[in-house]
Every structure is written in structure tokens, then in C-alpha cells.
Chain A
Amino acid sequence: GENVEQHPSTLSVQEGDSAVIKCTYSDSASNYFPWYKQELGKGPQLIIDIRSNVGEKKDQRIAVTLNKTAKHFSLHITETQPEDSAVYFCAAQDPGTYKYIFGTGTRLKVLA
């Protein structure tokens, strides 16, 4: 079955700098990749997603890139702000099913 790895597990950046979180997946048939932000005591909140027929997608300060050949996708946050501090999860939709396989999460700290 599908397996998703996520790096780094923790990331500290200065306010205004960029943050990059990387994920790899194992099943080349996977075709949908959402990213979630989880704040303390809350559920995961969808922040951006990408389909396998697209190489990049951007929404204001957030962008996601997908390299199907290498089977990896990345989240890019520019001009980070303290409110970006949270745990971020990547996921891949398991091919042939609707279930998501999640990475282990990245704890992002934006230092003021």
C-alpha cells in the first residue's frame, strides 16, 4: 500500500522567511495530495491540495509543487508570520480508495 514520508519533523524560521516541507510517496498511481494545518487542540484544516496532472499550485503565500517522476511533493510558505506556527501534515490519497495516507507531520515555529 501507499506510504508517505515527511521531513523535517520540526522547523524553526524567522518571521518573514520562507519555510519548505517535503514529502515523498511510494505508489506512483497516487493522484491527489492535500496539505493540512493543525493547531493545538483542533482538527486538521485543509490549506491547499494538488492533483497529479498539475506541477504547481499557488494560493497567496502558500504553494505546493509536485514531481511525479521523483514521487515527491513540497509545501512552500513565503513571508511567514507567527500565526503560521502549527503542525503541518501532507497526505496522499491511496489509489483505488478514498482514504488518505498521512505523513508524520512537521512542527513549524515562526519566531518573531
Chain B
Amino acid sequence: NAGVMQNPRHLVRRRGQEARLRCSPMKGHSHVYWYRQLPEEGLKFMVYLQKENIIDESGMPKERFSAEFPKEGPSILRIQQVVRGDSAAYFCASSPGGAYQPQHFGDGTRLSIL
């Protein structure tokens, strides 16, 4: 009964390095969403993807951030040249798509920038 799997659970990077966060959706789900959560705050939408397509990236910073969901393999959120402000918990959710289909979340990747 695998849910949404995210790895790594914790990731430490130095300023200027690259961070790669992975997300495998629930079985049968073809829609993936990434959210960012700062300490003591709610989740903020970043990007919504279907297989091989970015559907909505309105919440993702234009520079340094990118996301993909290839035909085979997990979805990847990539942050280049990380800065201290990128420190946050990054959550992935998946759904089967369609109206009124709830999004199911993984346990997140906690990114710390030294």
C-alpha cells in the first residue's frame, strides 16, 4: 500500500550547490504537485505536472527552480545555486486527476542550506 514516496527525507546543501528532490506518486496517479512549506506556515503551491508535461508553474520562481515528470521514473524538483532562503520543507502530492480528486501527500524533503 505504497503512498507518495519522497526522497531524500533530509537534504543538506551549501550555498551555490544544487538540490534534487524526488517524488514517486501513488500507484495509478498521473498528476503530481509540488508545494513548499516554511516553518510555522501553510503550504504554498509551486508546480503541477502530468507525465512529460508542466501544466501550471505559476508558483515556482522563474530562476534556479525547475521541475520535470518524465515518462519513466519519479518527478524531480531541481533547485540550482541554492541560497539560504531555499531552506524549507518541500512536499509532493499526487492525484488521479479530474475534478474533486483529493491530493495525497508524501512526508516531504526537509532542505537545509548551510
Cα distance, A21 to B3, chains bound together (Å)? 27
Question: Closest CB of chain A to B112's CB: distance in Å?
Answer: 14
**B105 contacts which of A43, A99, A104 (Cβ < 8 Å)?**
A43
A100 near B108 (CB under 8 angstroms)? no
Which residues 62-114 of B have a CB within 8 angstroms of A? Answer: 91, 95, 97, 99-100, 102-108
Which residues 87-108 of A have a CB within 8 angstroms of B? Answer: 89, 94, 97-105
Question: Closest CB of chain A to B6's CB: distance in Å?
Answer: 8
CB of B18 within 8 Å of the partner chain: no
CB of B28 within 8 Å of the partner chain: no
Residues of A with C-beta under 8 A to B48: 97-99
Residues of B with C-beta under 8 A to A61: none
Question: Could you give 29 example pairs across A and B, Cβ below 8 Å?
Answer: A32-B99, A32-B100, A42-B108, A43-B4, A43-B6, A43-B91, A43-B106, A43-B107, A44-B105, A46-B102, A46-B104, A46-B105, A49-B100, A49-B102, A94-B45, A97-B56, A98-B48, A98-B55, A98-B56, A99-B59, A100-B35, A100-B43, A100-B45, A100-B103, A102-B35, A102-B43, A102-B44, A104-B41, A104-B42
Residues of B in contact with A (beta carbons under 8 Å apart):
4, 6, 31, 33, 35, 40-45, 48, 55-56, 58-59, 91, 95, 97, 99-100, 102-108
